[in-house]
Amino acid sequence: MNISLANKAAVVTGAARGIGRAIAKKLVEAKAAVLLIDVDEDALRETKDKLENGHSRISTLAGDLTDPAFPESAVSHVVQSFGSVDIVVNNAGYTWDSVIQKTSDEQFQAMLDIHLVAPFRMLRAASHWMRDAAKKERDAGRVMTRKVVNITSISGLDGNAGQIGYASGKAGVVGLTKTLAKEWGRYNITVNAVGFGLIDTRLIKPMEDAETNIAIGERRVRVGMQAQVREEAARMIPLGRLGTPDDAANAVFFFCSPLSDYITGEVLVCSGGIHF
């Protein structure tokens, strides 16, 4: 099935690598205009170069999503660039893991800020434009379906030892999603979430891999998994393998496409069948 999003403008956060890049690629291939957002300006530029390939409707915005002023700037940027905002994918995030007795206030708040507060602020910023546009379309006798896709995790759905902050933030995303689906149904905006399992990105690479030592502002955070734990977890997946960024992007794209126009307030688990 050839799905065209040629008349849509999308925002993807955390778009410079991994799952975010794969999501952006799906949207670009469907001919959507796409704003790529990431804190890593160099990786963002590289992703834009890879995705463009004659596709002129790609823009980038580098910045810190946890800055309270940034989401308003992001929404203004996409509207100024493309004249609309029709799809919002809140994908940005990282892990900073510890058991509760070793988790500092800073660490716990950092997980809430990127996984829950940043999506809330992005959607609050987008709400003014999206609601006003929906009202004008309704008055003109036209119907336009818009899409929000938030990213959660099986850690947020089932809990996961050692991820008290990450799991709490991702659990909050579910409440955000289900509540906003009820608030925005009247504007013909669907709001759904995708809960990922073990997707093979730098967040679950073996800890010995240099990619797992990442910079978050002035802080460096060790992500990844112990190699033995990663191997054991992979063996528990009923489908017999780790997920790929493309697997993850396919699930998100479903919620961005017209195939899901009558689905809202739902969480789709993309985990190969594993639950923690």
271 vs 268: CA distance, rounded Å: 9
One-character DSSP codes across the chain: -----TT-EEEEES-SSHHHHHHHHHHHHTT-EEEEEES-HHHHHHHHHHHHTT---EEEEE--TTSTTHHHHHHHHHHHHHS---EEEE-------B-GGG--HHHHHHHHIIIIIHHHHHHHHHHHHHHHHHHHHHHTT----EEEEEEEEHHHHH--TTBHHHHHHHHHHHHHHHHHHHHHGGGTEEEEEEEE--B-SGGGSBTTSGGGEEEETTEEEE-SB-HHHHHHHHHH-TTSSPBPHHHHHHHHHHHHSGGGTT--S-EEEESTT---
Place of tokens 């112990």: 226
Q: Which amino acids are annotated catalytic?
A: 166
161 phi, psi to nearest 5 deg: -55, 135
Q: With contact defined as beta carbons under 8 Å apart, do 244 and 200 qualify?
A: yes
